[in-house]
Amino acid sequence: MADSNFRGPVSNMGSLEDVNATTGTTSLVQISPFDGPMISYQDMIVPDIRFVPFAKDGTAPGRVPGFASGLNVWACDNIPQARTSTMIAASQVVTSNVTVALATVGAAGVASVASLAFGVPIIPVGTTVATTATIAIDFGFTTGTTTTNSSTVAVVDNTLFKVGQWLVIGNVGNSSASKSLISQVQTIATSNTTTITVSPSPVTGLASVPIGQANLYGSSLLPPATQFGPAAASANAHAFGGAIEGGLARVMNPRETLARNIAIQGLTAGTYSCVVSGWDVWGNVMTEIITLSSATTGAGKRAFKYISSITSGTTAGLSFSFGLGDSFGLPLRGDEWDQTEITWNNAYASNSNGFQAAILGAQTGTSGDVRGTVQVSTAIVTGVLATAISAVASNGTSRITIQQNIGVWNQIYGTPNNTVPMFGAAQFTGTT
């Protein structure tokens, strides 16, 4: 297809051009599902005004000098859950090549704070069938309180939802709170801002459970089940990056991009290692080898979003528990600290303390994160960075925000055939 060159300007009016068809006024204008935002591949380019005439004719690339307007991505914005050393797996004696007994049961959370979700269906990259992640870390764009077998969910802010939206509601898919529920928003209260109804109904009642975005968009309300006719389309997994509808676009939701490193608490002296297996925030399979040489607290360097298993590599009967660290992953490749704007606990990061740039090239079992991380506290330094943004550990009240100023090279050279400039090198998937 030939390039389209024309004399602007271009105005994207969306629903601003509409009036009410009945009254002829601007009240209750027609809102189209495909109204904005505009989509532009490989950034927006401002032409260099020094070069005229505009070189619209020809076949060679790079004919028109210009400047990239810059892709500043609001990459992450949420309150991570308070760190404990047992939230992934309680204290247990582990031996060589034995699968660690992970936590499997959800509990009441804290309003507006991301938390663990158990039994979350996902469709990993390169697959087409949903699989179940044992644990999803720092899950959800908001929280809600459920009542057993009731369609009513009390939420923090019901303006975050839309009728027909598909959700993954953490830990309420069965009576034991070990499975998350895929459900659809049926109604949104207008008499208050704290109530929605969903179908199917949560099986168990829990306070402040995490709610994430499911992977079906633009769906009509699912009718009641019948014994005749084909089944209507329904979501079947969590949407990576918690993507939300933006007209034709499916836009990453910074409330759902929290991912972080795994911590180990040694309870008896001895050398220990394990292989953590799971997926990153985009659904790529990943593994990491974490070692600990004494009875102390250590952590990995990579940001996990979902955990499938942890396999012990120790040769002796030692006691350990597993939790979360305070290093958070960058959703997009971060090559320089100067290309980020980070806040933690209501303060801007004033220097590069705690920043780890993306690790390039072939990965090993112990290398850092392929997109980079930022460590918010020095609560755990064994195995990770010795510096951090602050001394404030994740506490369930401090918010982290990450803005990434993506480099011009990363944008222009990132293509469907080469995603490395934007999303980093391939994840390590081995066990040694």
Contacts with 268 (C-beta within 8 Å, 6 or more apart), sequence order: 295, 318, 319
Tell me: pLDDT of 230 over 70: no
- Spatial contact of 112 and 185, defined as CB atoms under 8 Å apart: no
Q: Quick one: 416 and 270 in the same domain?
A: yes
Residue 432 has a CB neighbour count (10 Å cut-off) of: 7
Tell me: pLDDT of 257 over 90: yes
| Cα distance between residue 336 and residue 357, in whole Å | 6
Note whether residue 94 is domain-resident: no
| Cα distance between residue 375 and residue 356, in whole Å | 8
| Cα distance between residue 100 and residue 272, in whole Å | 13
Closest by Cα among 198, 159, 163 to 181:
198
pLDDT: which is higher, 26 or 202: 202
**What pLDDT is attached to residue 333?**
97
DSSP H or E run through 423: helix 420-423
C-alpha separations of 152 from 89, 155, 180, 187, 199 in Å: 32, 10, 16, 9, 9
Note whether residue 6 is domain-resident: no
C-alpha separations of 125 from 190, 209, 282 in Å: 39, 27, 8
Residue-wise pLDDT for 319-366, tens only, equals 889 999 999 999 999 999 999 999 999 999 999 999 999 999 999 999
Tell me: pLDDT of 146 over 90: yes
Note whether residue 122 is domain-resident: yes
Q: What's the gap between Cα 374 and its chain centre?
A: 15
Q: Token pair of 270, please?
A: 């001895």
**What pLDDT is attached to residue 43?**
84
Note whether residue 411 is domain-resident: yes
Mean pLDDT to the nearest integer, 194-214: 97
Note whether residue 35 is domain-resident: no
**Mean pLDDT for the chain overall:** 91
Note whether residue 292 is domain-resident: yes
Q: Quick one: 217 and 279 in the same domain?
A: no
- Spatial contact of 392 and 377, defined as CB atoms under 8 Å apart: yes
Q: Quick one: 367 and 385 in the same domain?
A: yes
pLDDT bin (cut points 50, 70, 90) of residue 86 is: very high
Q: Which of 86-100, 221-235, 279-293, 352-366 has the lowest mean pLDDT?
A: 221-235
Structural domain containing residue 154: 99-223+234-256
Q: Which of 53-62, 159-168, 348-357, 422-431 has the lowest mean pLDDT?
A: 53-62
**What pLDDT is attached to residue 231?**
56
Q: Quick one: 246 and 283 in the same domain?
A: no
* Cα end-to-end span (Å), the chain: 48
Mean pLDDT to the nearest integer, 93-118: 94
| Cα distance between residue 107 and residue 115, in whole Å | 9
Note whether residue 363 is domain-resident: yes
What are the start-end ranges of the E strands in 147-259? 152-155, 166-169, 181-188, 195-199, 209-213, 244-246, 249-251
**What pLDDT is attached to residue 176?**
97
Tell me: pLDDT of 150 over 60: yes
Instruction: Give me the number of domains the chain comprises.
Output: 2
**What pLDDT is attached to residue 124?**
97
Q: Quick one: 311 and 184 in the same domain?
A: no
Q: Quick one: 166 and 315 in the same domain?
A: no
Question: SS3 for 165?
Answer: coil
Q: Quick one: 326 and 400 in the same domain?
A: yes
**What pLDDT is attached to residue 196?**
98
**What pLDDT is attached to residue 272?**
84
| Cα distance between residue 253 and residue 207, in whole Å | 23
- Spatial contact of 165 and 144, defined as CB atoms under 8 Å apart: no
Q: Quick one: 218 and 293 in the same domain?
A: no
**What pLDDT is attached to residue 387?**
93
Q: Quick one: 166 and 187 in the same domain?
A: yes
Q: Quick one: 210 and 355 in the same domain?
A: no
Q: Quick one: 275 and 190 in the same domain?
A: no
Closest by Cα among 260, 430, 281 to 362:
430
Note whether residue 294 is domain-resident: yes
Q: Quick one: 185 and 264 in the same domain?
A: no
